[in-house]
Structure 1
Amino acid sequence: MSAAGLTTHHTAPTGLPVSPLLSVRNLAVAYGRIRALHGIDLDVEPGRIVSLVGSNGAGKSTTLMAVSGILPLAVGSITFAGEDITKLAPEARVGRGIAHVPERRRVFGGMSVRENLVLGAYSRADATDMEADIAELTQLFPILGKRMSQAAGTLSGGEQQMLAIARGLMSRPSLLIMDEPTMGLAPQMIDLILDTVQAIRARGTTILLVEQNAVEAMRLSDHVYVMRLGRIVHQDSGSNIDPDRVKAFYMGVEA
């Protein structure tokens, strides 16, 4: 994110094409001899929400982990902000502006909320604005402001998810990768988290999202990629995508 604070802005002259912030080409990932992803191509333009949807085992989380460097590629390339990051380590990708909010939150339960947030900024060379960033995040997540000294493991599931997102934002990413942010949450908290996703995008952060609720994901997204058995089988803009056709792809039948 910008050095001035957590908010970023991506603009381009009207009518001119925008270069993707993230480009993935011919990406394949293997677990031993088993190929989990096959020739994934996708683009994420700056300032957009892009979602991957598909049934369990489709390869969505694997794709996210490959982009953030947690999983090595068998073949393929990843370009971010015009730089080839295919061979960069995960921590180097964080330094370039990619933050990954993992599935099931994974906060440091024995550490306080504040300590979790400070850890989120570990890659920043200049932490002089850290307190200002924490204050800004407590405006986005007011409940965290009331829990700063509380152990993260004692928070509710929804509060832990807010903390995981806020911790990711502390690195000031250009791209925030979010894996199943509403998993296991109560309906009211699900609505709050999804509203937060939109608020983060409104502040200028690009989002690559995997969400268990495909209908909500499609509603939120500027572009949607549908995955099945490790492949992208369909894509369209969020405004044009047909939920009924997506369901057919889930089942392996082209509508």
Structure 2
Amino acid sequence: MTHSGPIIHPTGLIERPVEPLLKVSGLSVSYGRIRAVDAVDLAVEPGRIVSLVGSNGAGKTTTLMALSGLLPLAAGRIVFAGEDITGLAPELRVSHGIAHVPERRRVFAGMSVRENLALGAYSRGDATEIAGDIERLTQLFPILGKRMHQAAGTLSGGEQQMLAIARGLMSRPQLLIMDEPTMGLAPQMIDLILDTVLEIRKLGTTVLLVEQNAIEAMRLSDHVYIMRLGRIVHEDSGANIDTERVKAFYMGVDA
């Protein structure tokens, strides 16, 4: 959680509060007369993994799509890296440093792995650096290096998810938004993808994560927001989050 003032350590040194990379205030999204997301406030500090968890229909994916500019806001404000991006088009949010890995992967099935990766860098013009980034991503995802000229649609589900994540990283984002990255994957692939989330953070990219495996998501997160019926109903650090309270919220019980 963002601190409101300086912290004075016993040594006498003053630690200044960290400004959020992403700060969302009063975010609301409507589908016709239905308010799907209502007055959501959240903050994501740089270099952190922040998870948004909740049962199906809680409004998590809608929130992520609104942050990426894929859905209009009914109300609210989005500030990224100190700049108000509330009215910014989705492609401009990418160039500002936000990448979105959507649920169900959505790779371009008829295009090769390399072509999919190149599309992730569409906002960049540095061909040499793009080629270098593709090479570096094959170190993070070695299997993609072996599939570079293969059609994305012929990859396994786990390989397609790796490709979707790598494609998002090709824009060199400050913030990577990931929506249900382990959906429909085998258990061993789930572990691999979640380990990759930690590696991405180690490489310097901040992560905002929606994940169906809530307990695993909370385990690797620095901060957790719990969402129910379009609202944030609880938040805490990943280390302090009460899993029993989370289960109660999932069951629709106020904890």
Q: Does TM, normalized by the shorter one, top 0.5?
A: yes
Which digits, 9 at most, give the CA deviation of each residue in 1:39-96, with x for residues without a partner?
0000000000000000000000000000000000000000000000000000000000
Distance (whole Å) between structure 2 residues aligned to residue 96 and residue 31 of structure 1: 27
Other-structure match for 2:35: 35
Distance (whole Å) between structure 2 residues aligned to residue 74 and residue 128 of structure 1: 42
Distance (whole Å) between structure 2 residues aligned to residue 104 and residue 172 of structure 1: 22
Which digits, 9 at most, give the CA deviation of each residue in 1:82-132, with x for residues without a partner?
000000000000000000000000000000000000000001143330111
**Alpha-carbon offset, residue 251 of structure 1:** 2.1
**Alpha-carbon offset, residue 32 of structure 1:** 1.0
Other-structure match for 1:69: 69
Distance (whole Å) between structure 2 residues aligned to residue 171 and residue 213 of structure 1: 27
Other-structure match for 1:49: 49
Distance (whole Å) between structure 2 residues aligned to residue 110 and residue 123 of structure 1: 21
**Aligned partner of 2:144: which letter?**
L
TM-score by length of 1: 0.94
Other-structure match for 1:26: 26
Which digits, 9 at most, give the CA deviation of each residue in 1:167-199, with x for residues without a partner?
000000000000000000000000000000000
What secondary structure does 2:163 align onto? helix
Distance (whole Å) between structure 1 residues aligned to residue 132 and residue 167 of structure 2: 14
Which digits, 9 at most, give the CA deviation of each residue in 1:24-50, with x for residues without a partner?
000000011111011000000000000
Runs of 4 or more consecutive aligned structure 1 residues displaced over 6 Å after TM superposition: none
**Alpha-carbon offset, residue 253 of structure 1:** 1.9
Which digits, 9 at most, give the CA deviation of each residue in 1:122-174, with x for residues without a partner?
01143330111001000000000000000000000000000000000000000
**Aligned partner of 1:213: which letter?**
N
What secondary structure does 1:39 align onto? strand
Query: Between the two proteins, what is the percent identity of the paired residues?
Result: 80
TM-score by length of 2: 0.94
**Aligned partner of 1:115: which letter?**
E
Distance (whole Å) between structure 2 residues aligned to residue 215 and residue 99 of structure 1: 24
What secondary structure does 1:88 align onto? coil
Other-structure match for 1:9: none
8 Å CA contact 1:180–1:211 kept in 2: the answer is yes
5+ long unaligned stretches in structure 2: 1-12
Other-structure match for 2:5: none
Distance (whole Å) between structure 1 residues aligned to residue 157 and residue 86 of structure 2: 34
Distance (whole Å) between structure 2 residues aligned to residue 27 and residue 239 of structure 1: 26
8 Å CA contact 1:100–1:176 kept in 2: the answer is yes
Other-structure match for 1:157: 157
What secondary structure does 2:253 align onto? coil
Distance (whole Å) between structure 2 residues aligned to residue 127 and residue 23 of structure 1: 33
The total of aligned residue pairs comes to: 243
**Aligned partner of 1:168: which letter?**
G
Q: 1:229-244, aligned counterparts within 5 Å? A: 229-244=229-244
8 Å CA contact 1:52–1:224 kept in 2: the answer is yes
5+ long unaligned stretches in structure 1: 1-12
8 Å CA contact 1:121–1:127 kept in 2: the answer is no
Distance (whole Å) between structure 2 residues aligned to residue 168 and residue 14 of structure 1: 37
Other-structure match for 1:134: 134
Q: 1:1-255, aligned counterparts within 5 Å? A: 15-255=15-255
Q: Which moved more, 1:117-126 or 1:220-229?
A: 117-126
Distance (whole Å) between structure 2 residues aligned to residue 195 and residue 170 of structure 1: 19
Superposed CA RMSD: 1.0
